[in-house]
């Protein structure tokens, strides 16, 4: 009897180990007409949702330990903090008008706030309104989660969009779509170190990513239909043509491939980073802005806000394998354990 009991216990432990080994984690989707959807990456199905107690969440981030999820809530000028051990709302933190892009880094939350933004893109070929209010600099609010409050601000350009950090962690790099610049700031002080104009390469810089080896950066130019490559000192190296309206951008974990979401071209473009030659255009849906790899790098999940879905793409075959319905206008997506993606980086 004791032997049978021991065998049963051993079987249970082995089953548990196998289950844990096969656990692929979860993805979290911010929905502009809802809260946060939870996708089980083992089944690739939506398994639930989280009430963030706010409206119009866009930017989304997750702490390195996976304890907290953060959303930027456009209509309420705040962040929501969610405890992922319970999937329960913890608190709101005020950050400033029109918060959008979120990055969590070194225990702090960096969120772009845009006091001058109308939320609508400029029309190609039309002069932008030259009113003073359109030139109000954006702020990158810096929030200390342990203190539960905003501790400082970094002054960006008008309508700051993307946020990235240098490999050393000494610089923060932001894209400023309204004045067509990329600005580099000291991480600790926020002091402006350098301004790079994108005007000659294309308008409306949006996504910004550092290569995994830290040797160069890629920034997408939404109205230029290009991305540019900058070296580690932020000098221009190359301009690469893309489909219409490139936005979200990410390398794979090894840095061998670059992925660019082109929302109006309705493709996820894949490039070989050894020469930036295109490997493939993967057909997608409408307004697909942000995406994340699964933690095991086998799949890419792409949020398509106007197609009412999250697409699952095989990262090796570069083919769509599944459509996960989502009618609440998905905006951003991150995964845990931490993964490569347009809104996050793997550890």
**In this predicted model, what pLDDT tens digit does every residue of 31-52 receive, in sequence order?**
999 999 999 999 999 999 999 9
Average pLDDT on 271-278 reads 98
DSSP state of 121: P
Least confident of 84-98, 111-125, 246-260, 327-341: 111-125
pLDDT tens for 206-228 read 999 999 999 999 999 999 999 99
* Nearest C-alpha neighbor of 36 from the set 95, 100, 80: 80
**Distance (Å, whole) CA 344 – CA 90:** 22
The pLDDT assigned to 211 comes to 98
User: Concatenated DSSP letters for 63-76?
Assistant: -TTS-EEEEEEGGG
Residue 78's Cβ-side half-sphere holds a number of Cα atoms within 13 Å equal to 13
The pLDDT assigned to 347 comes to 77
**What's the token pair of residue 179?**
């004045």
Task: Band the pLDDT of 136: cuts 50, 70, 90.
Answer: confident
**Average pLDDT value for the chain:** 91
Task: Give the chain's end-to-end CA distance (angstroms, integer).
Answer: 47
The pLDDT assigned to 134 comes to 53
**Distance (Å, whole) CA 263 – CA 243:** 9
The pLDDT assigned to 261 comes to 98
The pLDDT assigned to 118 comes to 53
**Distance (Å, whole) CA 78 – CA 85:** 22
Q: Where are the domains of the chain?
A: 162-241
**Distance (Å, whole) CA 204 – CA 179:** 8
Name which residue leads in pLDDT, 5 or 245.
Answer: 245
- Decide: helix, strand or coil at residue 191: coil
Average pLDDT on 154-183 reads 94
Name which residue leads in pLDDT, 179 or 9.
Answer: 179
Tokens 């933004």 correspond to: 117
pLDDT tens for 153-164 read 999 888 899 999
Tokens 């330990």 correspond to: 65
Residue 10 has pLDDT above 50, yes or no: no
Contact 77, 57 (CB under 8 A): no
**Distance (Å, whole) CA 221 – CA 54:** 31
pTM assigned to the model: 0.90
**Distance (Å, whole) CA 49 – CA 31:** 10
Task: Band the pLDDT of 131: cuts 50, 70, 90.
Answer: very low
In CATH, 162-241 is 1.10.10.10: no
The pLDDT assigned to 135 comes to 66
pLDDT tens for 137-151 read 889 999 999 999 999
What percent of the chain shows pLDDT beyond 90? Answer: 84
- The arrangement of strands across the sheet holding 78-83 comes to 57-62, 68-73, 78-83, 88-94
The pLDDT assigned to 2 comes to 54
User: Concatenated DSSP letters for 102-137?
Assistant: EEEETTEEEEEE-TT--SSPPPTTSPPP--GGGGPP
**What's the token pair of residue 62?**
């997750």
**Distance (Å, whole) CA 300 – CA 1:** 49
* Nearest C-alpha neighbor of 315 from the set 266, 254, 264: 254
What percent of the chain shows pLDDT beyond 70? Answer: 88
- Decide: helix, strand or coil at residue 2: helix
Residue 311 has pLDDT above 80, yes or no: yes
Contact 49, 37 (CB under 8 A): yes
The pLDDT assigned to 114 comes to 85
* Nearest C-alpha neighbor of 265 from the set 249, 290, 282, 240: 282
The pLDDT assigned to 141 comes to 96
């Amino acid at each position: 009897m004791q032997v049978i009991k021991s065998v049963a216990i051993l079987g249970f432990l082995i089953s548990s180990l196998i289950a844990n080994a096969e656990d692929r984690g979860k993805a979290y989707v911010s929905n502009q007409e809802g809260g946060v959807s939870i996708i089980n990456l083992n089944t690739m199905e939506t398994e639930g949702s989280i009430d963030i107690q706010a409206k119009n969440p866009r930017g989304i981030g997750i702490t390195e330990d996976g304890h907290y999820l953060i959303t930027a809530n456009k209509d309420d000028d705040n962040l929501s903090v969610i405890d992922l051990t319970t999937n329960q709302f913890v608190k709101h933190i005020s950050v400033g008008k029109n918060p959008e892009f979120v990055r969590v880094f070194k225990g702090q939350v960096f969120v772009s706030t845009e006091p001058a933004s109308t939320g609508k893109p400029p029309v190609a070929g039309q002069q932008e309104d030259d009113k003073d209010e359109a030139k109000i600099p954006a702020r990158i609010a810096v929030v200390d989660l342990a203190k539960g409050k905003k501790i400082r601000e970094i002054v960006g350009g008008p309508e700051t969009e993307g946020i990235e950090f240098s490999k050393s962690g000494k610089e923060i790099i932001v894209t400023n779509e309204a004045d067509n610049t990329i600005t580099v700031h000291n991480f600790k002080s926020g002091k402006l170190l350098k301004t790079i104009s994108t005007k000659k390469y294309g308008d409306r810089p949006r996504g910004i990513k550092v290569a995994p080896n830290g040797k160069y950066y890629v920034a997408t130019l939404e109205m230029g239909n290009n991305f540019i490559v900058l070296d580690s000192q932020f000098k221009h190296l190359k301009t690469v043509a893309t489909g219409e309206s490139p936005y979200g951008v990410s390398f794979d974990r090894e840095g061998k491939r670059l992925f660019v979401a082109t929302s109006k071209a309705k493709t996820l473009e894949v490039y070989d980073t050894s020469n930036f030659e295109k490997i493939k255009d993967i057909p997608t849906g409408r307004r697909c802005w942000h995406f994340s790899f699964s933690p095991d790098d086998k799949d890419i999940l792409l949020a398509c806000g106007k197609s009412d879905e999250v697409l699952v793409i095989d990262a090796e075959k570069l083919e769509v394998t599944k459509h996960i319905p989502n009618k609440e206008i998905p905006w951003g997506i991150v995964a845990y354990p931490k993964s490569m993606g347009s809104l996050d980086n793997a550890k």
